[in-house]
């Protein structure tokens, strides 16, 4: 069965255990915490998924091409802009 679940992001680098066919639907701040909503199949086996956040102007790592862009989130009325990238664990 497919469901949408919410997962908390604890830092700029977070590893989640998600169903292998999971689709990230949104990242936002909710009640002061960064969260991600993902559509998952609860019958599937889980796999590790890494999410990394970078501020506007922050240098991106040399392996950024191994990640897919997920979303951009504006915080504090746009004073802080975070760009989120993700990839499946190796």
Residue with tokens 């559509």: 39
pLDDT averaged over the chain?
Answer: 95
Burial (Cβ within 10 Å: 0-12, 13-18, ≥19) of residue 37: middle
- Which pLDDT does position 62 carry in this prediction? 97
Task: List pLDDT tens digits, range 14-37.
Answer: 999 999 999 999 999 999 999 999
What is the three-class DSSP state of 22? coil
d(CA 68, CA 87): 6
Interval 58-86: pLDDT, tens: 999 999 999 999 999 999 899 999 999 99
Contact 85, 69 (CB under 8 A): yes
């Amino acid at each position: 069965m497919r469901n949408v679940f919410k997962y908390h992001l604890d830092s700029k680098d977070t590893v989640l255990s998600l169903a292998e066919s999971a689709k990230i639907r949104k990242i936002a701040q909710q009640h002061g915490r960064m969260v991600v909503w993902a559509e998952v199949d609860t019958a599937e086996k889980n796999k590790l998924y890494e999410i990394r956040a970078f501020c506007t102007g922050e240098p991106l790592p040399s392996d950024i091409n191994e990640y897919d862009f997920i979303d951009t989130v504006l915080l504090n009325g746009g004073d802080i802009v975070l760009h989120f990238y993700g990839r499946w664990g190796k």
